[in-house]
């Protein structure tokens, strides 16, 4: 297999969107050949050569796209098709609705490397596979009608997700882990505090 084929395969295994770090880890798992000292640079060059978002674009195959601008090291496979076995998660224990991750949530999970933004835990569910959930701080749908934008989404572990859904997290007392590519808008935190958070005596 060529490097391009390995990179595409790694993206498919990771759900179509991944950070360089995740790609490297996945390629180590799937490639049974010797690695040179510069193989990571080869991976980056392979992506950039095949992406019109990059200045190094070769002008031939436009296979990859930069998620949210160059510089954050997260790339997507343009023609990734949803697979049956794709990761799903429960939005809410009470309604037991299973939905697929949206593109935004996938991006944010990659950006935070599946690390909970509240308690910083990272749940390993398989060799090189981690699990996290995306949560809309101001919930989607009636009566809240929160927007599906990354400023309203937080990446959580299932424990913190259940607490969040039930208003049992006091955000004002916690430090939410953020990074420069993902800032949560305070208005949604205010909404949560005023409408969802429970005050138990």
Q: How many residues bind Zn ion (CB under 5 A)?
A: 5
Which one, of 37, 22, 31, lies nearest residue 4 by Cα? 31
Site for Zn ion in 33-72 (CB under 5 A): none
108 binds Zn ion per the rule CB under 5 A: no
Nearer to Zn ion, 47 or 116 (CB): 116
Tell me the DSSP string of 61-73.
---EEETTSTTS-
User: Least Å distance between CB 189 and Zn ion?
Assistant: 16
**Alpha-carbon distance 71 to 92, whole Å?**
34
* Choices 43-51, 66-74, 90-98, 160-168; region in contact with Zn ion by CB under 5 A: 160-168
Q: Pick from 111, 160, 169, 171 the residue near Zn ion by CB under 5 A.
A: 160
119 binds Zn ion per the rule CB under 5 A: yes
What is the torsion angle, in degrees rounded to the nearest 10, for the CA atoms of residue 119, residue 23, residue 79 and residue 1? Answer: -160
118 binds Zn ion per the rule CB under 5 A: yes
154 binds Zn ion per the rule CB under 5 A: no
Residues 6+ apart with CB under 8 A from 107: 17, 67, 68, 74, 76, 150
Tokens of 172: 């004002």
User: Least Å distance between CB 159 and Zn ion?
Assistant: 5
User: Least Å distance between CB 157 and Zn ion?
Assistant: 3
**Alpha-carbon distance 120 to 155, whole Å?**
10
Question: Where do contacts with Zn ion occur on this chain (CB under 5 A)?
Answer: 116, 118-119, 157, 160
């Amino acid at each position: 297999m060529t490097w391009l084929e390995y990179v595409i395969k790694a993206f498919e295994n990771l759900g179509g969107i991944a950070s360089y770090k995740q790609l490297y880890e996945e390629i180590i798992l799937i490639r049974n050949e010797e690695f040179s000292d510069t193989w990571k640079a080869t991976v980056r060059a392979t992506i950039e050569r095949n992406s019109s978002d990059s200045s190094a674009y070769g002008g031939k195959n436009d296979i990859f796209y930069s998620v949210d601008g160059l510089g954050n090291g997260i790339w997507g496979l343009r023609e990734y098709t949803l697979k049956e076995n794709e990761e799903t998660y429960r939005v809410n224990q009470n309604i037991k609705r299973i939905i697929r991750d949206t593109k935004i949530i996938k991006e944010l999970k990659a950006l935070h490397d599946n690390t909970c933004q509240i308690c910083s835990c990272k749940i390993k569910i398989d060799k090189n596979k981690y699990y996290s959930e995306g949560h809309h701080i101001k919930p989607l749908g009636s009566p809240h009608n929160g927007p599906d934008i990354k400023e309203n989404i937080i990446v959580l572990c299932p424990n913190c997700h259940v607490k969040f859904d039930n208003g049992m997290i006091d955000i004002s007392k916690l430090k939410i882990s953020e990074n420069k590519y993902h800032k949560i808008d305070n208005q949604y935190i205010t909404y949560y505090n005023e409408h969802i958070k429970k005050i138990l005596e």
